[in-house]
């Protein structure tokens, strides 16, 4: 309750808006939002599980086609970027604005590198005629068709989240450079970090499911 009173005492009235700062509430909302993201992917993981059970052989054949080297490189890239985003929060807490911005730049570069790898992977598959409705799929078994269908949907949705995460981080960088995020007011940065970790965590599940399980 005392925390709550602090919250309200920072309240200000801006043209009808009840603007108040509540870091704890903001963090809570972010975690709830991440829950919803997990459930969004949860539906897809459920489908993957069901079809892997139904078409174990087809999935094995299809998975052998994946290049686990590129997958592993992408995993390393994303894990490293999770480290850099965490370091940027630590730097911000110590008022090291430049270091924090540098770490975020590095995170963004990692995200872009990930997407570039993904682009080459996808274009390779598409070039070989492996895409929904593509010529190569016509001769494949149902299990393989579903494997590639899910592969495109799940990595595609994940890629979309990488892009959203990159936009999120870029906005946060603007805030930092305008000193709207400081060593005492960094919840927005932390939320962006949480989101980026989510992107990372989902990939950690996608990688073994699509590349390692033969």
Residues near other proteins (CB under 8 A) are 1-2, 4-5, 7-9, 11-13, 15-19, 22, 24-25, 28-29, 32-33, 35-37, 39-44, 46-47, 50-51, 54-55, 132-133, 141-143, 145-146, 149-150, 152-153
- Residue 36 CB, shortest distance to other proteins, in Å, is 4
Rounded CA separation 48/203 (Å): 15
- Find all residues with CB under 8 Å of 85, minimum gap 6, and list them: 103, 104, 107, 169, 192, 193, 196, 197
Distances (CA, A) of 29 to 37, 76, 86, 158: 12, 29, 19, 21
Q: How far apart are CA 160 and CA 91, in angstroms?
A: 28
Of 23, 36, 4, which is closest to residue 185 (Cα–Cα)? 23
Residue among 63 and 108 whose Cβ is closer to other proteins: 63
Compare residues 5 and 139 and give the one whose CB is closer to other proteins.
Answer: 5
Residues in the chain: 214
Smaller CB separation from other proteins, 1 or 64: 1
Based on CB atoms, which residue is closest to other proteins, 64 or 133? 133
**Nearer to other proteins (CB atom), residue 49 or residue 72:** 49
CB of 137 to other proteins, least distance (A): 9
* Least distance between other proteins and beta carbon 196 (Å): 19
> Measured between alpha carbons, how far is residue 155 from residues 3, 15, 118, 149 in Å?
42, 44, 9, 10
**Residue 7 contacts residue 14 (beta carbons within 8 Å):** no
């Amino acid at each position: 309750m005392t925390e709550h009173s602090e919250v309200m005492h920072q309240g200000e009235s801006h043209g009808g808006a009840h603007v108040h700062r509540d870091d704890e509430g903001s963090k809570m909302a972010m975690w709830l939002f991440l829950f919803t993201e997990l459930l969004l992917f949860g539906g897809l993981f459920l489908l993957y599980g069901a079809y892997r059970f139904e078409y174990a052989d087809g999935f094995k054949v299809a998975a052998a086609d994946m290049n686990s080297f590129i997958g592993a490189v992408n995993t390393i890239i994303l894990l490293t970027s999770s480290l850099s985003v965490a370091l940027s929060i630590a730097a911000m807490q110590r008022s090291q604005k430049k270091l924090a911005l540098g770490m975020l730049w590095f995170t963004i570069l990692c995200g872009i590198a990930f997407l570039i790898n993904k682009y080459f992977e996808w274009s390779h598959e598409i070039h070989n005629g492996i895409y929904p409705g593509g010529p190569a799929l016509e001769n494949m078994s149902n299990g393989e068709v579903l494997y590639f269908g899910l592969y495109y949907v799940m990595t595609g949705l994940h890629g979309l989240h990488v892009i959203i995460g990159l936009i999120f981080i870029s906005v946060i960088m603007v805030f930092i450079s305008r000193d709207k995020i400081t060593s005492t007011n960094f919840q927005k940065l932390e939320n962006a970090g949480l989101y980026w970790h989510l992107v990372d965590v989902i990939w950690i599940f996608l990688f073994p499911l699509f590349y390692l399980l033969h």
